[in-house]
Structure 1
């Protein structure tokens, strides 16, 4: 999800939680569109009140990739006044064309061209959440390789992520650069600051 979309939802969190009823149409639609997982739907539905269900949904959505915000707008058919207000505010926002994730942090070329070390990949593995598989698929690892990494490290998501990152670096050699990592992080909607923390 783009920074502007995250900020918009954060700003309107309390207002939305008082206006939306997410259980009937919004959550099922986002599940159908593969924005929410089974576990996340259960997490939302286990909240005791409608307000808390909406707040939980708004808390989960920013981490669900670039399709999450457009899908949310489509899911708001029954709440068109809310959708129209969000769209209008987004268009009126200063610099609505805004900064992209790439503008936020741009390391020097000397850093971009180098191959990340074991230590850096380990630190990255500990910072990547549920997006790690999307990142590694974008880096070119096969679904079969990811499945093997998950199976070999079933008790540790850090271990599985690190194994997959090391496999990518071994396969790509000198082409396994920081720049390539940065591209895949952005493709999976992971903020570049995650990589910045790892490299500094």
Structure 2
């Protein structure tokens, strides 16, 4: 998990522990998305109170790989969207505060470990591949529609993508991203994606995971 995301969850531990009920939907969703193992599900659900279950989950999540934060955001969107919005608002504020100094002082390569990551200039005009768009589709949660609409994909086109992939969030998002790339041609660049991710409140480090 990105250090910025770890710090964000640590900062909001009290809020999350007081307001979440993880056993009904969040833990099963994270297991479904291969973020938690069966043993970790048992470990969380064996705790004696909801608060202890929340603490145990927040203790496990930071060590569950680069998809863990984004899948947790998707899980929150199922029943606790207001908590997700609070986290993303704080994340956006952190990104905006640190972005100017980050762009002046560093351009880490994909896979770097800076707390604030931005797209290296050398990759800005690259058109993302099918594989890279598939990775992005797996990382985007409830913000996917805002990202695609900022990219210029119409509401009608998004509706068709949902209708064609009713049982797959990944399939819906990937279909919309492929549609954007096809319609924009040489303008469908990583730099354009970065701008729309930021506009939708998605941390730019998502692209670091996409470009692995």
Tell me the TM-score range normalised by the shorter chain.
0.5 to 0.7
TM-score by length of 1: 0.57
1:102/1:192 contact within 8 Å kept: no
2:194/2:207 contact within 8 Å kept: yes
- Structure of greater Rg: 1
1:189 aligns with 2:188: no
1:176 aligns with 2:188: yes
* Structure 2 CA distance for partners of 1:70 and 1:144, relative to 1, 3 Å: closer
1:140 aligns with 2:139: no
Structure 2 unpaired stretches of 5+: 27-47, 59-71, 103-115
Q: CA separation in 1, counterparts of 2:130 and 2:190? A: 13
Q: CA separation in 2, counterparts of 1:117 and 1:15? A: 39
TM-score by length of 2: 0.54
Match of 1:13 in 2: 13
1:68 aligns with 2:86: yes
- Per-residue deviation at 1:51? 4.9
Q: CA separation in 1, counterparts of 2:88 and 2:203? A: 18
* Structural RMSD (CA): 4.3
1:156 aligns with 2:168: yes
Q: CA separation in 2, counterparts of 1:52 and 1:99? A: 33
- Per-residue deviation at 1:173? 0.8
**How many residue pairs were aligned?**
153
Match of 1:89 in 2: none
Structure 1 unpaired stretches of 5+: 24-39, 73-94
